[in-house]
Amino acid sequence: MSRKVSLKDIAKEVGVSTALVSYVLNNLKEGRIRKEVAERIREAARRLNYRPNQVARSLKTQKTNSIGLILADIANPFSSSLARIIEDEANKLAYTVLFGSSDENPEKFERLVDTFLNKQVDGLIISPPENSETALEQLQKQEVPFVLLDRYFPSLNTNYVLLDNYRAAHLATTHLLTQGCDCLGMITYATSLAHLQDRERGFVDALKQSDLQPSRALIQRVGIDNEPEEIGNALDQLLSNSSRVNGILFASNIIAVQCLRILNRSSIRVPGDVKVVCFDESPFFDLFYAPLTFVRQPLRQMGEAATRILTDNIRGTTNITQLQMDGELSSTHSSTELR
């Protein structure tokens, strides 16, 4: 690459100090620099195609204006939707975002954190995997600004922004009951992650508290790596003769899609034979022949809040913000359009 032009080059060109060039290009000391000199500096910068080296600036200012975003898997539509919202909000606040996928693997997660911190990101937005508490405590000890997104650890007093999963699951379950289901099933994950346990508790409590107590309720748990076979087996269990459920709550959109495709193939009709409610929304739910009911997470609010809380922390705020937002029950064929 042809040598890049630096402040020094401009200074030489114009015949002033680099300090002055820096002031002018950063619009500092506005009134205190001769208009004429300022203009010559700007002109030279333009002419030489000057590009401020943010790396040098970062080294000096100890700020990179970049944040790290760690999700389970950016290829998951739920994650990429959040990523997009965070990107927009971060850009608005003059931050760039680095991203990484943890694959639910705490070691990989720690490696990502390490890489990002070495790159001197100003803070992190994290959807943490299981068993990452220690790593997060480490971050707290090092006073790295971060906010958890979508997930949290009750044992840790950190910033977080997530759905009120208990209420959402409660709502979804009650919906199934009022739709007349008397034998309910849930397919969720075998995990210690609190947000998923909240969904399970919401399911169970809704059943307990309802007058419409189902004759049976079954919970199937699959691995968080979403093995299609395992999900298929879970569904089979719920639909087997001995436990024929007529209402199912799916704890994620991936579980939902996997199960709906199986229902398609087995010609089990929704909602005729079995009613379902899914967690998370997807524009693709519209492909299903019947309207699907799902818990819509307020993704935009969540992403924006997480980004704002993070940047506030970066800029010095020390208070901890914990947000549980309400989801709403929605249904395709009435939902917002895909873009």
Instruction: Report the distance separating Cα 56 and Cα 18, nearest Å.
Output: 14
* Dihedral sign for Cα atoms in the order 181, 184, 185, 188: positive
- As measured in angstroms, the least distance from the Cβ of 32 to DNA is 4
- CB atoms inside a 10 Å sphere around CB 223: 12
Question: Which positions from 197 through 236 interact with a copy of itself, judged by CB under 8 A?
Answer: 225-228
Q: Quick one: which of 12, 43, 47, 51 contacts DNA (CB under 7 A)? A: 51
Q: Which of 12, 39, 43, 56 binds DNA (CB under 7 A)?
A: 56
Q: Does 233 bind DNA (CB under 7 A)?
A: no
Q: Map tokens 């000890």 to a residue.
A: 141
316 binds, among DNA, a copy of itself, none (CB under 5 to 8 A by kind): none
Number of residues that bind a copy of itself (CB under 8 A): 66
189 interacts with, out of DNA, a copy of itself, none, CB within 5 to 8 A per kind = none
Write a three-state SS string for the chain: CCCCCCHHHHHHHHCCCHHHHHHHHCCCCHHHCCHHHHHHHHHHHHHCCCCCCHHHHHHHHCCCCEEEEEECCCCCHHHHHHHHHHHHHHHHCCCEEEEEECCCCHHHHHHHHHHHHHCCCCEEEECCCCCCHHHHHHHHHCCCCEEEECCCCCCCCCEEEEECHHHHHHHHHHHHHHCCCCEEEEEEECCCCHHHHHHHHHHHHHHHHCCCCCCEEEEEEECCCCCHHHHHHHHHHHHCHHHCCCEEEECCHHHHHHHHHHHHHCCCCCCCCCEEEEECCCHHHHHCCCCCEEEECCHHHHHHHHHHHHHHHHCCCCCCCEEEECCEEEECCCCCCCC
CA 73 and chain centroid, separation: 10
Structure tokens at 194: 């609190």
Q: Is 57 in the site for DNA (CB under 7 A)?
A: yes
Nearer to DNA, 25 or 325 (CB): 25
Least separation in angstroms between residue 100's CB and DNA is 22
Stretch that binds DNA, among 60-68, 121-129, 152-160, 252-260 (CB under 7 A): 60-68
What residue 80 binds from DNA, a copy of itself, none (CB within 5 to 8 A, per partner kind)? a copy of itself
Which of the listed partners (DNA, a copy of itself, none) does 165 bind, with a CB threshold of 5 to 8 Å by partner kind?
none
Task: Decide if residue 6 touches DNA (CB under 7 A).
Answer: yes
Interface mask (CB under 7 A) for DNA, residues 21-50, using x and -? -xx-xx-xx-xxxx--xx-----------x
Q: Which stretch binds DNA (CB under 7 A): 52-60, 100-108, 167-175, 313-321?
A: 52-60
Binding mask 112-141 for a copy of itself (x = CB under 8 A): --xxxxxxx---------------------
Residue whose CB is less far from DNA, 7 or 235: 7
State yes or no: residue 66 binds a copy of itself (CB under 8 A).
yes
Chain contacts with DNA (rule: CB under 7 A): 3-4, 6-8, 15-20, 22-23, 25-26, 28-29, 31-34, 37-38, 50-53, 56-57, 59-62
Chain contacts with a copy of itself (rule: CB under 8 A): 1-2, 49, 51-56, 58-59, 64, 66, 73-77, 79-81, 83-84, 87-88, 91, 96-101, 114-120, 142-144, 225-228, 254, 257-258, 260-261, 264-265, 282-289, 332-333, 337-339
